[in-house]
Structure 1
Amino acid sequence: MITVNQTHFEKDGKPFFYLADTCWSAFTNVSLADWRYYLKTRKNQGYNTIQINILRQWDASTTPLGQKVWEPFKLLDSEKERIYDYQHLDSAYLDHVEEMLAIMQEYELQPALVLLWCNYIPNTWVHEMVGSNNNLMPLKAVTNYVDTITKRFKKYQPIYYLSGDTDFPDGPAIEYYLTAEKIIRQNDPIALVSAHIAGEKLDIYPRLLEKLDFFAYQSGHGKTGQATSYTIPQAMRQQGYVKPIVNAEICYEFMPQFSPTMAERFSAQDVRRSSWQSVLGGASAGITYGAHGIWSWHNRGESFPPGYPYPADWHEALNFVGAMDVSYIKSLVTEYGLVDLENVNTPTAGVLLAEAKSQNKALAYVVSSREVELTAVSFDIKQVKAIDLTTKNIYYPSFKERKVESCDLAGDYLLVIE
């Protein structure tokens, strides 16, 4: 069971660094054989959590001919778009989801389930973009849906995200989320609850934020917005937020960078930078990786939404090198017991610094080689080592009067300060 202890998570009383993968389309688009292969791989790579959309992902890739696509509700029409009877949850779908959750349990992987993705909610950015009311879930259907899901899957001890990729528009949307939150607390009072927010956003309904067990944001996939990986958690801490913070969606590896041309893709180094800057910027409870080809579950030759061109086949995406770069964060934080990392200011540009006062240790992410000022560190520094984040080779740079010399490395690196 996952619980909250100040700014970090614990599982069965031990520190739990939330290291998730994004597999939004798992329940609807993935065969059981592929599911086992995927889970075994991510488990071996060090991941402990999988984020999944309970409903059908609106921007998933198509599935190969002959493979079953699971529908959560009775399907009334699918000629132009899927139109559901939201009063009738499909019993075969629920059986299928339960089988997949049971397999997750075998691999000791934590489910993080999104209840209400934004395209099912009125007035959100996706609803406005798609311009249709046909697929919206009526508010009166939320009660039965969330009641059924939480009662049936409580035994798998999921974390719940009330929202998926949402902004928080004026109007009825808040009632959807407040209704869902109330039902979760009634049916599964020990479950952790949060909200998954659209990229680069910080604002959330105040009435909802106060009810959440932790704050989850996403720095997202915009080329010009990557600094939000650290500016959002910094802002939350400055506002006095004292619960855990997670970056629940960093830039996806191999995803085209949202920009006027969509010409550049996020590299493994982009992913690594976003992840370290998130954790050291204040999102010290955990991080969520994503690969362009896994989240939408893409098979080569299938179609994909025009806004997300050319995903990799999921078999290839499963082994992108960035997955292990992100996993390394969990390994190092766990090895050093850094459950209380707190962002501290440093005058050195291009550096994110965080200190774990309980361990008399600090970490500094350095985007490229330079001298680093450590005057903000509160303890006596006995040793500084540098880890080249490309090779994982270790160096021992000179430091004097709380200034660390440049390491002359070609890429980014981490300073471990003790």
Structure 2
Amino acid sequence: MPRVTIDSSAPRFLVDGEPQFLLSDTIWCAFARPTLGEWRAYLRLRRRQGFNALNINILSIPHDRSASTVAGVERSPFLPAADGSWDLDRPDPAYFANARAMLELAIEHGMVPTLVVLWCNYVPGTWGAALTPELVLTEEQTDRYVDLVIESFADLGVTFAASGDDNFTDPRSADRYERVLRRLREKAPDTLLTLHPGVYVTQPPQLTGGDLMDYYSYQAGHDEGWDTQPGEQATGLRAMPVRRPIVSMEPCYEGHGYGKGSGRHTAADVRLASWSSVLAGAGAGLGYGAHGVWSWHRPGEPFNGEHFSGTPFPADVALRFDGAWDVGLLRRLVEAHGLHDLASRQDLVVGDRSGARFGLQESPRRAALYLPHPFAVTIDADLSGWQVECWNLGARNRDRPNLTVEDGRTRIEQPEFLSDSLFLFTG
């Protein structure tokens, strides 16, 4: 099994001792929905595209899911009560045995799974609990469930995200997640721990300030602020009192409807959100999502999150979205150039019309400039002694950079293609 650790000399992950950028595909409902044949085909494709990690929710997201209309097709984590609902005192051993087998197959394909232990629906004092109060676990049920999770998965080299989508506005949820983290830390001491928070969330110091967490994760989201939150949140986490690796766990999903507006997120949106994350400090990992894959949607099925997300594409269609190849390239470039600790330096961007993002890194000396649109931009720094590499990200091709240095400033001329671009500088 892979051994995932934190590099003691840099804010990044080591997998079996080697630096890796964890590029995760988001398939929240993996344990409940795909068949074994679908799972094998899915893993083969994502491996080819450059993914080396997965985001999976151990329990389903009840308020945001596709559902089969055929009885017995979906797998449930709890045995049924007399009225057909889940009996939260009786986890289904077959479900957890099947989940473990799926993880073993994923690991054979080179994937590091990150497992969300408790989505907010199962925790008191959360907005999810208000939607599905019948699914909130008691403290005793929580303890038994967490012990089962540890017994089932902890030896597989997984990482755990204790929370799922919580806003931490009620002390009860922070207390419950602290209880979960402490239990995970005590009984699975070699497993890396993090949180999956909601959007615009300040994670509670009682969870982030001590030794309960190994790396920071954040959600930039799919609605207002999807384009600015990736950089802003990474910058904020980079300035935390305790420095840790940072993962942009949930930027906008490709094909997902704008949560508070018209339209759907494109591959270009995903590239902007993803590169904005990395250039602001989220150089340890990234989550990618395709709308229809994360819920494993099948044609004609009901989806109860349509009001916010839009109707998902069938999973076999969403699997082929181009953005998956784009983030595969991102991983290769981050690893090849050592872009694990960039800091946002928007103060150095002069006279910009492109929405440029610029990041600098001290060790090793690196700089990166992302242009969402082709305009000339000036950087208030002399980069004449640096090697430069340019990429046409829309075509995933290298291009010839054109820049000049005058009076201590570097001017990058307008790229000659109608797409976003990336300039990588090695000092």
Question: Is the TM value for this pair above 0.5?
Answer: yes
The aligned amino acid for 1:410 is: L
**Deviation digits for residues 308-348 of structure 1, max 9, x if unmatched?**
32211100111100111111110111122333333333233
Name the CA distance, whole Å, in 1 between partners of 2:83 and 2:367: 54
- Taking the TM superposition and a 5 Å limit, the aligned residue runs for 1:233-312 are 233-259=234-260, 262-305=261-304, 306-307=306-307, 308-312=309-313
- State the match for 1:173 in structure 2: 173
The aligned amino acid for 1:116 is: L
Note closer, same or farther for the CA distance 1:171–1:334 as it changes in structure 2 (3 Å cut): closer
- Of 104, 108, 113, the residue aligned with 1:106 is 108
Shift of the alpha carbon at 1:266?
0.4
- State the match for 1:134 in structure 2: 134
- Taking the TM superposition and a 5 Å limit, the aligned residue runs for 1:141-160 are 141-160=141-160
Give the total of aligned pairs: 409
Name the CA distance, whole Å, in 2 between partners of 1:339 and 1:239: 17
Note closer, same or farther for the CA distance 1:398–1:77 as it changes in structure 2 (3 Å cut): farther
Name the CA distance, whole Å, in 1 between partners of 2:224 and 2:162: 27
The aligned amino acid for 1:368 is: H
Name the CA distance, whole Å, in 1 between partners of 2:83 and 2:54: 29
Note closer, same or farther for the CA distance 1:78–1:192 as it changes in structure 2 (3 Å cut): farther
**Deviation digits for residues 118-154 of structure 1, max 9, x if unmatched?**
11112212233x2x42121112211111111112212
Report if the CA contact (8 A) 1:366-1:414 is conserved.
yes
Name the CA distance, whole Å, in 2 between partners of 1:213 and 1:78: 41
Name the CA distance, whole Å, in 1 between partners of 2:151 and 2:58: 14
The aligned amino acid for 1:320 is: F
Tell me how large the CA RMSD over aligned residues is: 1.9
Name the CA distance, whole Å, in 2 between partners of 1:78 and 1:23: 30
- Of 42, 54, 61, the residue aligned with 1:57 is 61
- Any idea what SS the aligned residue of 2:133 has? coil
- Any idea what SS the aligned residue of 2:135 has? coil
Q: Unpaired runs of 5+ in structure 2?
A: none
Name the CA distance, whole Å, in 1 between partners of 2:270 and 2:225: 14
- State the match for 1:87 in structure 2: 89
Name the CA distance, whole Å, in 2 between partners of 1:22 and 1:67: 24
- State the match for 1:410 in structure 2: 418
Report if the CA contact (8 A) 2:126-2:170 is conserved.
no
Note closer, same or farther for the CA distance 1:367–1:381 as it changes in structure 2 (3 Å cut): farther
- State the match for 2:204 in structure 1: 205
Name the CA distance, whole Å, in 2 between partners of 1:45 and 1:64: 32
- State the match for 1:375 in structure 2: 380
With 18-27 and 328-337 compared, the bigger mean Cα shift is at: 328-337
The aligned amino acid for 2:425 is: I
TM-score computed with the length of structure 1 as normaliser: 0.93
- Taking the TM superposition and a 5 Å limit, the aligned residue runs for 1:5-20 are 5=7, 6-20=10-24
Name the CA distance, whole Å, in 2 between partners of 1:77 and 1:69: 19
Shift of the alpha carbon at 1:66?
5.7
Report if the CA contact (8 A) 1:344-1:376 is conserved.
no
- Of 348, 352, 364, the residue aligned with 2:357 is 352
Name the CA distance, whole Å, in 2 between partners of 1:355 and 1:90: 50
The answer on 1:400 being equivalent to 2:405 is yes
With 65-74 and 147-156 compared, the bigger mean Cα shift is at: 65-74
Name the CA distance, whole Å, in 2 between partners of 1:223 and 1:403: 32
Q: Unpaired runs of 5+ in structure 1?
A: none
Report if the CA contact (8 A) 1:162-1:195 is conserved.
yes
TM-score computed with the length of structure 2 as normaliser: 0.91
Shift of the alpha carbon at 1:240?
4.0
Shift of the alpha carbon at 1:223?
3.7
The aligned amino acid for 1:283 is: A
Note closer, same or farther for the CA distance 1:351–1:321 as it changes in structure 2 (3 Å cut): same
Report if the CA contact (8 A) 1:386-1:397 is conserved.
no
Report if the CA contact (8 A) 2:223-2:258 is conserved.
yes
Name the CA distance, whole Å, in 1 between partners of 2:46 and 2:269: 20
Give the share of equivalent positions with the same residue, in percent. Answer: 32
Name the CA distance, whole Å, in 1 between partners of 2:71 and 2:44: 25
Shift of the alpha carbon at 1:76?
2.0
- State the match for 1:69 in structure 2: 74
Report if the CA contact (8 A) 1:389-1:414 is conserved.
yes
